[in-house]
Amino acid sequence: MHELSICQGLLRQVEKVAAENNAKTVELIRLRVGALSGVEPPLLERAFEIARAGTLAAEAELEIEEGPVVVKCQECGASSAVPVNNLVCQYCGEWRVNVTEGEELLLLSLEIET
Ligand SMILES: [Zn+2]
């Protein structure tokens, strides 16, 4: 499962931050998942429940914020937030755009117990 390896990578990052802050446990993990990241939040949550066992985050909650998709137009240079199924410039309708947001999987913040 794709999501499981993502979770394992994420938990390594979480444990590193937790250790740097002398945390005993991690209570909450906030993530931002871009709509084009290819990650399904429900699958990520399920994978997280498996992956967190035996880590500092074994009891942690996972909060997933779904990020917007933002494109930058190659024609007029404007940035606009767009629906996933319609990646065109919202100002001039140009389809040659670069995705500047939406592909990311970001660790936003942690709540820890020290
Ligand atoms: Zn445009």
**In order along the chain (114 residues), what is the average pLDDT of each group of 10 residues?**
89 96 96 93 94 96 95 98 96 97 95 96
CA–CA separation, 35 and 69 (whole Å): 6
CB 11 within 8 A of CB 52: yes
The C-alpha atoms of residue 45 and residue 58 are separated, in whole angstroms, by 13
- Whole-number Å distance, alpha carbon 86 to ligand 1 midpoint, is 13
Q: How many angstroms separate the alpha carbon of residue 96 from the centre of ligand 1?
A: 8
Q: How far, in Å, CA of 114 to CA of 108, rounded? A: 19
Given a contact cutoff of 8 angstroms between Cβ atoms, the answer to whether 102 and 81 are in contact is no
Task: Determine the distance separating the centroid of ligand 1 and the alpha carbon of 88, expressed in angstroms.
Answer: 8
Ligand 1 centroid – CA 99 distance (Å) = 13
Domains of the chain: 2-67+102-113 (3.30.2320.50)
Q: How far is the CA of 95 from the centre of ligand 1 (A)?
A: 8
d(CA 36, CA 53): 28
pLDDT on residue 1: 60
Distances (CA, A) of 61 to 1, 27, 65: 21, 6, 13
106 CB burial (10 A radius; 0-12, 13-18, 19+)? middle
**Cα 14 to ligand 1 centroid, rounded to whole Å:** 39
Residue 60 CA, ligand 1 centroid: distance in Å: 43
Output the pTM of the full model.
0.84
